[in-house]
């Protein structure tokens, strides 16, 4: 049963992996998380989480076949909370260099591969660095300067650098975006659900902002105008 004192968190099950660990992660962080493949159920939740593991083209194909894309389009249009993890975040952008793949185009930006000479995949624990002075820096309380778990060869690059909340260094790839936020959409390149206590802190910090977004009691999220559907 959904507990009204905790934000309901719908983890989209579209056949793209890590739904169970994402559910456990958001539950541990203070959400009332559940897995769903039903569009109406997802649309009614306070928060929608888009997980993703694997090749972006495969993830996009299964997401489109699931009928859940319309849920994401509607939520982003109405400035409702969405959280993307790894490929689940990447597929929201306009284009990926992985297989020269068009994305959903719900966020302005592209997904790039690490440059030649940088070891791929970037796998393991690495330091998350806050962008100082960013309005969402508080989301990284207890997280900035700590290590989170990464496994990827590509990363999202928003059109507007102001949407980058935190960065990470990997070899010669210095300062690539690893936490992004635009409007009600937040994404992490690392896996907070696999990052132990540090990941739990980040999710708890972010969930604490849900009451400031449309769909929950609060004044709204005036500081973060929604991107709209592109």
Please list the active-site residues: 86, 191, 193
Length of the chain: 230
Q: How far apart are CA 200 and CA 205, in angstroms?
A: 9
Contacts of 57 (CB under 8 A, 6+ apart): 98, 99, 101
Q: How far apart are CA 103 and CA 90, in angstroms?
A: 8
């Amino acid at each position: 049963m959904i507990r009204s004192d905790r934000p309901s968190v719908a983890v989209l099950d579209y056949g793209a992996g890590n739904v169970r660990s994402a559910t456990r992660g958001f539950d541990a962080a203070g959400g009332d998380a559940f897995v769903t493949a039903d569009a109406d159920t997802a649309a009614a939740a306070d928060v929608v989480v888009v997980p993703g593991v694997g090749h972006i083209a495969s993830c996009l194909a299964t997401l489109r076949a699931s009928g859940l894309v319309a849920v994401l389009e509607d939520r982003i249009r109405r400035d409702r909370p969405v959280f993307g993890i790894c490929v689940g975040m990447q597929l929201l952008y306009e284009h990926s260099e992985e297989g020269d793949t068009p994305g959903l185009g719900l966020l302005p930006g592209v997904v790039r591969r690490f440059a030649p000479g940088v070891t791929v995949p970037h796998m393991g624990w690495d330091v998350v660095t806050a962008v100082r002075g960013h309005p969402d820096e508080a989301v990284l309380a207890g997280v900035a300067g700590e290590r989170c778990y990464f496994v990827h060869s590509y990363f999202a690059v928003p059109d507007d650098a102001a949407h980058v909340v935190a960065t990470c260094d990997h070899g010669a790839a210095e300062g690539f975006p690893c936490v992004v936020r635009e409007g009600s959409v937040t994404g992490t390149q690392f896996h907070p659900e696999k990052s132990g206590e540090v990941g739990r802190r980040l999710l708890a910090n972010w969930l604490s902002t849900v009451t400031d977004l449309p769909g929950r009691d609060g004044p709204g999220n005036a500081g973060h105008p929604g991107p709209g559907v592109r």
